[in-house]
């Protein structure tokens, strides 16, 4: 191994060790970690785009928001990598499965909507006979029972109320507009699936949303 390559390997190892230390200590926004996520995403996306050339930027954003979360969670939970495994390699392996899951989910959603389009609801703006805040609380409670994630419920309600995705990012725990869009898509799919399995709930939901 050349001296230049040896120095490069030593520098990479030092940076990766710093990234591991920062993440395990809960410091996920420091310069070294941000640098790692940016460069690892560039590397992984360059590899994956050959297999998924039609994905839009917001879809890649959603994928890598998920990758970053999984990577960070696993490191904090104490996962041990095989000796000699680079962090970038491990990050890319997570990205491969995340991209595959995302594409499969999109294909399922498209097929689901083609077959059951009349049963996939669009959440309307909250307006009607009941007091706005009272009905909003009822809708929120109903959605929580179906979706089980308060941040995702909040995104759905804000999007239904006409709030722009860039503003939703500010008001929620999501990292990008793409992640918010993905949350809306998955949330509506869960609602549609629930209504297919529980058709008697459709009328009750319609009354709750429209206030009559």
List the chain pLDDT tens, one digit each, 212 residues.
343 443 455 666 777 888 888 888 876 667 888 889 999 999 999 999 998 998 888 889 888 988 888 888 888 888 887 777 888 888 999 999 888 888 877 765 555 444 444 444 444 444 444 445 566 677 777 788 888 888 888 888 888 878 888 888 888 878 888 888 888 888 888 877 777 776 666 666 665 555 44
Same-domain status, 95 and 166: no
Same-domain status, 98 and 130: no
Q: Any idea what the CATH number is for the domain that residue 84 is in? A: 1.10.1740
CA–CA dist 175, 104 (Å, integer): 22
Domain hosting 199: range is: 120-210
**Residue 130: what pLDDT?**
41
**Residue 24: what pLDDT?**
84
Query: Which of 131, 124, 108, 135 is CA-nearest to residue 190?
Result: 108
Same-domain status, 170 and 101: no
**Residue 116: what pLDDT?**
45
Handedness of CA 90, 93, 99, 100 (dihedral sign): negative
Same-domain status, 172 and 76: no
What's the number of domains the chain is made of?
2
Same-domain status, 64 and 84: yes
Same-domain status, 13 and 108: yes
Same-domain status, 101 and 54: yes
**Residue 111: what pLDDT?**
52
User: Residues 22, 32: contact at Cβ < 8 Å?
Assistant: yes
Same-domain status, 124 and 111: no
- Residue linked to tokens 């549609």: 192
């Amino acid at each position: 191994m050349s001296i230049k390559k040896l120095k490069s390997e030593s520098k990479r190892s030092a940076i990766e060790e710093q990234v591991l230390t920062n993440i395990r200590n809960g410091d996920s926004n420091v310069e070294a970690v941000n640098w790692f996520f940016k460069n690892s995403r560039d590397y992984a996306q360059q590899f994956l785009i050959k297999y998924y050339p039609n994905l839009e930027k917001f879809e890649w954003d959603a994928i890598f928001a998920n990758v970053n979360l999984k990577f960070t969670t696993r490191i904090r939970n104490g996962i041990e990598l095989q000796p000699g495994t680079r962090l970038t390699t491990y990050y890319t392996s997570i990205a491969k499965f995340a991209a595959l899951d995302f594409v499969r989910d999109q294909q399922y959603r498209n097929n689901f909507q083609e077959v059951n389009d009349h049963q996939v609801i669009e959440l309307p703006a909250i307006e009607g006979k009941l007091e706005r805040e009272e009905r909003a609380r009822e809708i929120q409670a109903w959605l929580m029972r179906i979706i089980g994630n308060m941040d995702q419920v909040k995104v759905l309600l804000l999007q239904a109320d006409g709030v722009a995705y860039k503003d939703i990012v500010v008001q929620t725990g999501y990292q990008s507009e793409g992640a918010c869009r993905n949350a809306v898509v998955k949330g509506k799919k869960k609602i549609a699936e629930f209504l297919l399995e529980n058709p008697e709930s459709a009328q009750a939901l319609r009354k709750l949303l429209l206030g009559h």
